[in-house]
Amino acid sequence: MRSADLGIWNSSVDAMSEEHYVRSQSRGNREDVRWAKVADVNGNGVRISADGHMAFSALYYTDEAIASVTHDFELPSVRSDATLLYIDAIQQGLGNATCGPTPLQKYMIPENSQVRLKFRIERTAAR
């Protein structure tokens, strides 16, 4: 990528899972994240800073819980009381050949190669 919007975005955990799919599936992922902060309404929480880029999401659902329901309107029945933080070095591009082609080669996770992610987690406090 040669250019892209850079900025600081705010979102709620609820808003990160608002993507609607015919069948419930993983959701809320953000790519090319340099840092992310998860905090309560008072500003207390954690900040995760990547040494480079990371993928990130914060949800009230585990992948298992999401897969256990058929439709997204059923998600409240499997909602966790905790905020679940997902930090990934890489995620595969869209497509899985269940109803179409696999992702383009440039979006595939490299096979037989190490992928590393270095990040720091810091506690944040209200100011």
- pLDDT band at residue 4 using 50, 70 and 90 as cut-offs: low
For the chain, give the percent of residues with pLDDT over 90.
Answer: 43
Q: Where are the domains of the chain?
A: 13-124
- Return the pLDDT at 25: 76
- pTM for the model stands at 0.77
Res 59: pLDDT: 92
Report the pLDDT averaged over residues 19-39. 84
Q: Which fold has domain 13-124?
A: Beta-galactosidase; Chain A, domain 5 (2.70.98)
- Specify whether the CB–CB gap between 14 and 53 falls below 8 A: no
Burial 77-110 (b: 16+ CB within 10 A, else e): ebeeeeeebbbebeeeeeeeeeeeeeeeeeeeee
The predicted structure's pLDDT at residue 121: 96
> pLDDT confidence of 28, banded at 50, 70, 90?
confident
